[in-house]
Structure 1
Amino acid sequence: MSGQRSLVKVLAVLKHPEQGDLHHPQDPDVAIFHERRALSYTEKAWALTRDLQPFHGELPDYASSLEAALEAEWHKLDRLRRWAEQGLKQLAELRKDYAPRK
């Protein structure tokens, strides 16, 4: 069954949810830019069973795992921001080259 769901209990955070509109990822110009919070310690949520996988290893502390997941998401977005800034600088230079010479 593809729609089968399982109830999961949150004990740690491995990846922080991405911010913004889920249907328009990385689009800052959406009607509502959603704040997406991590689930709370011991919060229960339904998830598609096909998306679940067993966790192997030592279970990290919730607070430290939340902090690490938030930092990882912060660094990912910061890297993307810096990449976009570099790309815009390069395109600005190319725009000068491509402009018709008068």
Structure 2
Amino acid sequence: MLYRFAHKTGVYGVSIVEEQDNQVLVQIEQVIKHPKQGDLHNPKATDNVFFHERKALSQFEKRYTTSSQLKELDVEPLPYVESLQLAINNLEERLQQKQDEHARRSLENLQILKNDYFIQYKEKFK
């Protein structure tokens, strides 16, 4: 069974690997929402900040969380790479509508990340 798990600014479909007391070890199975780019402490800022390049958590990567952080999966389960492509496309569409400096720099980061994902998953990202 898959669950919805928010981690930083990304959202993922996860499966439970192990439960101990109040800790749950989850494994990333799909990407629902790609992480935002830039400085999390200064959203939308581009001047005098370190503009972070934020990758999605990798397929099969594991994270500890609590059961209260897991929600019912409310999207269609997809293979990881297909879900990553969809999440990137959704983020790019939102950024292209904004046409500001933050959106422009975020789109540049996503192009770099697509190349990284190609190397990692051996699949071209549009």
Q: Which TM class, normalised by the smaller chain length?
A: 0.5 to 0.7
1:26 Cα deviation after fit: 1.2
Match of 1:85 in 2: none
TM-score by length of 1: 0.66
Match of 2:71 in 1: 53
AA aligned opposite 1:79:
Q
The structure number with the bigger radius of gyration is: 1
Within 5 Å, which residues of 2 pair with 1:22-101? 22-47=40-65, 49-56=67-74, 58-81=76-99
Structure 2 CA distance for partners of 1:34 and 1:48, relative to 1, 3 Å: farther
How many residue pairs match? The answer is 80
Structure 2 CA distance for partners of 1:47 and 1:74, relative to 1, 3 Å: farther
Residue 17 (1) aligns with residue 3 (2): no
1:34-62 C-alpha deviation (Å, 9 max, x unpaired)? 00000110001234544321215642010
1:80 Cα deviation after fit: 1.3
Which range moves more in the overlay, 27-36 or 15-24?
Answer: 27-36
> Gapped runs of 5+ residues in structure 1?
83-102
Give the number of the structure with larger relative contact order, counting CA–CA contacts within 8 Å between residues 6 or more apart.
Answer: 1
**Over aligned residue pairs, what C-alpha RMSD do you find?**
2.3
Which range moves more in the overlay, 51-60 or 13-22?
Answer: 51-60
**Which structure has the highest helix share of the two?**
1
**Which structure has the highest strand share of the two?**
2
> Gapped runs of 5+ residues in structure 2?
1-21, 101-126
Match of 1:97 in 2: none
Q: Percent identity?
A: 37
TM-score by length of 2: 0.55
Structure 2 CA distance for partners of 1:78 and 1:45, relative to 1, 3 Å: same
AA aligned opposite 1:22:
L
